[in-house]
Chains A and B, each alone.
Chain A
Amino acid sequence: MSRLRVLFRTTAVRLSALYLLLFSLCAAFLVFYVTAMSQRLLEQQTKDAVTAEVAQVEEIYARAGVNGLLRTLERRARQPGANLYVIAGPTGEILAGNVASLQPGLLDKEGWTGEAFRYQRYTDESRKETHVALAHVLVLDNGLRILVGRDLQEPEKFRVLVRQALVVALGIMGIGALIIWFAIGRNALKRIDRMSDASTRIMAGDLSQRLPMSGSGDEFDRLSESLNAMLGRIEKLNEGLRQVSDNIAHDLKTPLTRLRNKAEAALAHKATNSGYRASLEEIIGESDQLIRTFNALLMISRVEAGAAAAEMSDVNLSQSVADCVELYEPVADEQALKLEADVPADIHVSGNRELIGQALGNLIDNAIKYSDGGANPLIKVSLARRDGAIVLSVADHGPGVPADRRDDVVERFVRLDESRSKPGTGLGLSLVEAVMEMHQGSLELSDTVPDAENNRGLTASMVFPARSG
């Protein structure tokens, strides 16, 4: 029964109930109006016929006198389906005509009888049926009273018929509405139930579940569609989170194990004070590296979550690039590399100076780390406009990254085998990508010298979208 109550609470059922009520009121009004109008019309017709008859009666009386009138009325009264004719004396006793009895006092007043009255006919005496009629009373100058009337059976029948039709129509309408209510409401309920079933499964942890779609493109489908899009986003974020925790488990356990081993080794050996000191320093170095990795991970996830988006402002990119190049130039110099900048003045973007600086720092740092062994010691940092977008790229002439590995190196903790020996967290490019995503831009990787045999070099480009304001 509670299910029925739920059904009645659905919007579809409530709306259709309201419509049904309004429609019934209108229909009832319409039917009553139509019957009233047609009844009046029929009554008018009856009155017109009676008036014409009265005029004839007066004319016959004037022409043929009482006897002529009586003869004519006698003849007319005997015709089948005739009008009502009563000839009565001055006191009201019925002398002739086709009426057996009348309501008393009806003949006292000349003119229309006003309301419809009841009477009994001669012709169907056997049945003693009571009829309703409308009549006109005429008082002749000799005191005789003549009543000319017309039966109202037809209009009455019509009225009853229309009433019946109305009741039947309303009944059918009500039943139909109930059926429609039930169908619509139940359909809506069913779909809602299916949706909540799906969400229950999703809540239970199966994020790959989607809300059902009927394919009709109606409001339910549109709702499902946007909820599904939301679920997709959540699933992707969740997947990213899971990947990060997997990576953390894997890539942080290694240095933690190393840390522990070093501490154990220091304890196991009967070392001198200075030996302990060296071990402790190594351990601090190792934990600093761990902290660095942690910080980088945290930073990436915060940037990805858009936490830093609040601190966006106008950044003089030209200035930032110049600062960064100036910061790293001595390091490059020390490794016999040449860090060169090609930076036009006054290029601005809307962003976070700190994060852009760090991202560019990561790219330059990578370029310095991986430039060795290349034929060309040049690392070029350039800033340029390309189709409205602003491209900041760092090009080195090191071994480069094969085209099929480029998506991989951006992933967290992924390092190509050749670079495992180099210091680093494997998070540098991930951070750059996260920073660029936060700026609605992208990180593009390409060859510096595409047609070279080897040492094609890597060009990493931070692409900022054209400014929208």
Chain B
Amino acid sequence: MVTRMKILIIEDDLEAAAYLAKAFREAGIVSDHASDGESGLFMASENSYDVLVIDRMLPRRDGLSVISELRRKGVHTPVLILSALGQVDDRVTGLRAGGDDYLPKPYAFNELLARVEVLGRRKGAPEQDMVYRVGDLELDRLSHTVRRQGRELLLQPREFRLLEYLMKNAGQVVTRTMLLENVWDYHFDPQTNVIDVHVSRLRSKIEKDFDQPLLRTVRGAGYMIKEDGRTDA
């Protein structure tokens, strides 16, 4: 049993906060709630959380100032910013203030959950690992090679980056927008199913000649790479 993730939600809309708390609880995440910037700042600096979910517009102290104050105090808990503002420049200012991820409102809960989980497990993420392994699949970040059952698979550079991101977050759901952001560095909505087509191409390369499926589609959410049979989280 993995220790449960604990997060702090700083959100002034009580109804939204209650909904989030319930949804996170169902997903196995414990959450605390603060309804304004000052108390949020206090709670975030006094307690230890895995992730902070901070609304941008808050009473008493706005979200960005909470983040920069926390960073100034040396609190480096990963922060996800929620914002009802527009898209183009907001994201930049949010991330510049010290946020780690950004999600514009309105959002799908699955999207928020996937991002919070990825942020929360960042602590143990194999950032320094040069080789990622999922079952019999092996990705070498130095030599840029991918092997399965010892057999080398030939991937396009973008397919390699796609697989690298999926394997880095193995066992976690990764949404389409997360893939577009992290693999292509674009934050717009591509409208058509572009990401799906890329993933299915990748899937056919890593699964075609093998029995075990690794890359699965999570309905209504995104994708997850996981060794079959193990059932944690």
Contacts and interface: CB of A to CB of B under 8 A. Distances in A.
B193 A295 contact: no
B22 interface: no
B89 A308 contact: yes
Nearest to B193: A331
B181 to A, nearest CB: 11
Contacts of A302: 86-88
Interface string A331-345: 101100000000000
B89 A311 contact: yes
A59 B220 CA distance: 142
B197 A354 contact: no
Residue of A308, A327, A365 with most partner-chain B CB within 10 A: A327
B186 A326 contact: no
B123 interface: no
Nearest to A308: B88
Given A302-B86, A354-B186, A334 B92 contact: no
Interface string B184-218: 10111111111001100100000000000000000
A432 interface: no
Nearest to A299: B87
B141 interface: no
B106 interface: yes
A302 B85 CA distance: 11
Given A298-B86, A330-B201, A292 B92 contact: no
Contacts of B190: 327, 361, 365
B144 interface: no
A307 interface: yes
Contacts of B25: none
A25 B194 CA distance: 88
A291 interface: yes
B184 A299 contact: no
A298 B106 CA distance: 13
A247 B67 CA distance: 38
A327 B191 contact: no
Contacts of A355: 88
Nearest to B198: A330
A331 B192 contact: yes
Contact of B189 (A281, A292, A423, A424): A292
Interface string B64-102: 000000000000000000000011110010000000000
B195 to A, nearest CB: 9
A365 B188 contact: no
Interface in B157-202: 158, 184, 186-194, 197-198, 201
Q: What is the interface of chain B mostly: helix, strand, loop, or mixed? A: loop
B197 A331 contact: yes
A368 interface: yes
A308 B86 CA distance: 10
Given A302-B86, A327-B184, A365 B191 contact: yes
A51 interface: no
B189 A295 contact: yes
A357 B88 contact: no
Given A330-B198, A331-B197, A298 B188 contact: no
A352 interface: yes
Q: What is the interface of chain A mostly: helix, strand, loop, or mixed? A: helix
B88 A299 contact: yes
A311 B92 contact: yes
Nearest to B183: A327
B88 A354 contact: yes
Residue of B89, B187, B191 with most partner-chain A CB within 10 A: B191
Contacts of B92: 311
Given A331-B197, A334-B197, A357 B86 contact: no
B186 A299 contact: no
A148 interface: no
Nearest to B200: A330
Residue of B87, B184, B192, B198 with most partner-chain A CB within 10 A: B192
A84 to B, nearest CB: 104
Contacts of A357: 186, 188
Given A291-B106, A331-B197, A357-B186, A365 B88 contact: no
A204 interface: no
Given A330-B194, A330-B197, A365-B191, A298 B87 contact: yes
Given A303-B88, A311-B88, A327 B194 contact: yes
Contact of B184 (A323, A331, A423): A323
Given A299-B86, A299-B88, A302-B88, A331 B188 contact: no
Given A291-B106, A303-B88, A354-B88, A368 B188 contact: no
B192 A352 contact: no
Nearest to B87: A299
A158 interface: no
Contacts of B108: 284, 288
A322 to B, nearest CB: 11
Interface in A403-428: 423-424
A249 interface: no
A116 B223 CA distance: 124
Nearest to A352: B88
B65 to A, nearest CB: 20
A355 to B, nearest CB: 7
Interface string A367-388: 0110000000000000000000
Contacts of A354: 88, 186-188
Closest 10 CB pairs of A and B: A358-B188, A330-B197, A308-B88, A302-B86, A331-B197, A298-B86, A331-B194, A357-B186, A311-B89, A308-B89
18 contacts: A281-B220, A292-B189, A292-B191, A298-B87, A299-B87, A303-B88, A307-B86, A307-B89, A308-B88, A310-B89, A327-B194, A333-B197, A354-B187, A358-B186, A361-B186, A362-B191, A365-B191, A365-B192
Given A292-B189, A354-B187, 9 more contacts: A284-B108, A295-B104, A303-B88, A311-B92, A327-B190, A328-B192, A330-B198, A358-B188, A361-B190
